[in-house]
Structure 1
């Protein structure tokens, strides 16, 4: 039994629970009697974590791929961040990797003002400071490739 910080409990198969490194370690150390407290995981996030793990665990490869795409497409930004935090805490590596890729895909190509808006970051530069930064680092910063790695020059 997994017990979230908001009191909700989830029954989960051991095979699915073992997809989370933290819980797997607790099982190995015989520390699951009476349930597993998850003080850093909220029930809505845990529900999504379990939906992902259960489906990925039981679906065929093509079905799993289609599920993953739909799973992240329907997710709000806030829910995605909660899932990332939960997957990180639980050491659910496959989910964490997929969620981080989704987050990266969502911000790729955004301008600085768009990123500020997306993440709710206030611009604390004065117009004068912004102009000074633009003079020091023009937008045409070049990337140089060296053996497959990109470097800003």
Structure 2
């Protein structure tokens, strides 16, 4: 049975006085896990989710058939941390964030970033992948 990662039960919760009462939207991953996220700080950083919000298509939650829960969790971690940090701190976080991932996890995050149209995440993840193969020989790349 799917679980909510927030105490909120409904797909959209409105409010503007505090972060807890901020408007939220529920994201439903392909493996059934759900995430309740703040519209202003996270959901708007995804072109796919933002368009659905703008088109008022979030009632009942936002289905993400191409995104697995572990990748979504990493995407949300990135978006939450990245946008709350100063530029230099954000770059240090970005480097550490991607370096601690396995290749498979990085691939899933890139796929999720692409599906969600999270351009900043996608750019950072692909740059990390490029940095990982730069200067390697063909046999090293095959491994």
- TM (normalized to structure 1)? 0.74
Listed as ranges, the matches of 1:76-91 within 5 Å are: 76-91=102-117
Structure 1 counterpart SS, 2:37? coil
- Residue correspondences, number: 117
Q: Indicate the structure (1 or 2) with the bigger Cα radius of gyration.
A: 1
Is 1:2 aligned to residue 2 of structure 2?
no
Is 1:108 aligned to residue 108 of structure 2?
no
1:16-67: CA deviations, max 9, x gaps?
Answer: 1010000000000000011000000000000000000001121222221221
- Structure 1: gaps spanning 5 or more residues: 118-153
Listed as ranges, the matches of 1:53-68 within 5 Å are: 53-68=79-94
- Structure 2: gaps spanning 5 or more residues: 1-25
1:98-136: CA deviations, max 9, x gaps?
Answer: 00000001111111111111xxxxxxxxxxxxxxxxxxx
Partner of 2:5: none
**Runs of 4+ displaced beyond 3 Å:** none
In 2, Cα distance between the equivalents of 1:17 and 1:59?
17
Backbone CA RMSD of aligned residues: 0.8
Is 1:13 aligned to residue 38 of structure 2?
yes
Contact 2:95/2:128, CA 8 A, preserved across alignment? no
In 2, Cα distance between the equivalents of 1:69 and 1:102?
8
Tell me which of 82, 93, 101 is aligned to 1:75: 101
Structure (1 or 2) with the greater helix fraction = 1
- TM (normalized to structure 2)? 0.79
In 2, Cα distance between the equivalents of 1:20 and 1:74?
23
Is 1:22 aligned to residue 82 of structure 2?
no
Partner of 1:140: none
Partner of 2:69: 43
Listed as ranges, the matches of 1:70-149 within 5 Å are: 70-117=96-143
In 2, Cα distance between the equivalents of 1:93 and 1:49?
12
In 1, Cα distance between the equivalents of 2:140 and 2:88?
34
